[in-house]
Amino acid sequence: MKNVTRTICLTLALLLGSVGTGCGPDFDKGLAATQSGDFATALREWRPLAEQGDARAQFNLGVMYVKGQGVPQDDKTALKWYTLAAEQGNADAQYNLGVMYYNGQGVPQDDKTALKWYTLAAEQGNADAQYNLGLMYEKGEGVPQDDKSALKWFTLAAEQGYARAQYNLGVMYYEGLGVPQDDKSALKWYTLAAEQGDADAQYNLGLMYANGEGVPQDDKSALKWYTLAAEQGFARAQYNLGLMYEKGQGVPQDDKRALKWYTLAAEQGLADAQYSLGVMYANGYGVPQDDKSALKWYTLAAEQEDAFAQYNLGVMYYEGQGVPQDDKSALKWFTLSAEQGYARAQNNLGVMYYNGEGVIKDNVYAHMWGNIAASNGLEKAVEFRDWVGEKMTPSQLETSQRIAGECVRKQYKGC
């Protein structure tokens, strides 16, 4: 499942003469003053108009107080002027009021009041408000959670070219939220958002081309969209690009480029990339072989519960690669990996119990872990389990089988 990025935006642009007609000269003089950075003149021109009830002047005063332009920054005073303009139907003021109530800016946080003002602005076609209203219905903030209403408001904003709404629509069609699942519609909305530079949409579009969802499978198109997202710093796209270069999918195989993209993703904390980087350093792919660097990246991924990294880290401690040999540390990492169901780690635990390495020698537990690894499809574990079993009494075998069943029921935890 792909998570929808949720952003509440605040409009801070001054309201120009495009809204309403008959702008008086004083209003125009205020606009001209702001364009030259003369906020004192703008304030002098607009305050009397605002006090006389001019909604445009009231809105612009609100903007000035939020930004601290020509006046001390003051959210409470901004709220006052936005409210006066909003009550006269000014959509931009209604939207900004919604933002202030949603964020608790100059006023106690209040989702219901935010929803009220967003709704009024959205009904006038304000795309920012439509998008934020969609988010509130999607999350159930200030209103019961309602995917169909979220879909309605995202659609209205998306049809105005609002990229984040287009992305969220893509997610809803892809996952079947508030609408029947529809890959082709998801692809349509992701494409529109991606073409505007939305990195989430670019990444998801890359996935759809890579997997052939709603479109024929196409590695070159996947590579294109992953690259655009990766160049914006999207870690998962960087990792997927690394995979494509490593495997030569849609591009000539290139370990150095794979290393580059894995590194960028790994430095952002992505465990999959950290593990892949560890593999590259351990084997000297695209970089000189370096056990210490492999150990570093495996450790970072292992600490994020990556089972493969935990296993490889166990191997390095067991064999003393890049680190002093240490059976207890090997046992620790094999155990953590085994608890996630990784059969190789489970079998290695069995070997350590059989040899008494880092733990008291115990054929019952050696057989148990070998048995579990074998049941998880590891062929060499079958041979190990049976070999240990030949050295056990019938009572020990019965105990081993019983505790293996208990271990499986506990999902390998605390065995």
pLDDT digits (tens, 9 = 90+) for 134-163: 999 999 999 999 999 999 999 999 999 999
- Please tell me the distance from the alpha carbon of residue 106 to that of residue 152, in angstroms, as a whole number: 30
pLDDT at 12: 46
pLDDT digits (tens, 9 = 90+) for 296-353: 999 999 999 999 999 999 999 999 999 999 999 999 999 999 999 999 999 999 999 9
Burial track 228-257 (b if 16+ CB lie within 10 A, e otherwise): bbbeeebbbbbbbbbbbbbeeebbeeebeb
pLDDT at 26: 84
Q: How many residues does the chain have?
A: 415
The gap from C-alpha 90 to its chain's centroid, in whole angstroms, comes to 35
- Please tell me the distance from the alpha carbon of residue 330 to that of residue 11, in angstroms, as a whole number: 55
pLDDT at 14: 52
How is the chain split into domains, by residue range? 324-415
**pLDDT of 33 over the 80 cut:** yes
The answer to whether 183 and 214 are in contact (CB under 8 A) is: yes
**pLDDT of 22 over the 70 cut:** no
- Please tell me the distance from the alpha carbon of residue 189 to that of residue 164, in angstroms, as a whole number: 10
Structure tokens at 108: 């106690």
- Please tell me the distance from the alpha carbon of residue 4 to that of residue 375, in angstroms, as a whole number: 38
The torsion defined by the Cα of 34, 36, 38 and 41, in degrees rounded to 10, comes to -60
The answer to whether 133 and 4 are in contact (CB under 8 A) is: no
pLDDT at 228: 98
What mean pLDDT is reported for the chain?
93
Please classify residue 149 by burial: count the beta carbons closer than 10 Å to its beta carbon, then call 0-12 exposed, 13-18 middle and 19+ buried: middle
**pLDDT of 24 over the 60 cut:** no
pLDDT at 11: 46
Question: Longest Cα pair distance anywhere in the chain, in angstroms?
Answer: 102
pLDDT at 29: 92
Structure tokens at 111: 């989702």
The answer to whether 352 and 332 are in contact (CB under 8 A) is: no
Mean pLDDT over 238-267 rounds to 97
pLDDT digits (tens, 9 = 90+) for 50-104: 999 999 999 999 999 999 999 999 999 999 999 999 999 999 999 999 999 999 9
pTM for the model stands at: 0.88
Please classify residue 377 by burial: count the beta carbons closer than 10 Å to its beta carbon, then call 0-12 exposed, 13-18 middle and 19+ buried: exposed
pLDDT digits (tens, 9 = 90+) for 188-227: 999 999 999 999 999 999 999 999 999 999 999 999 999 9
- Give the 3-state secondary structure of residue 165: helix
Taking CA atoms, 120 is separated from 77, 88, 116, in Å, by 21, 11, 6
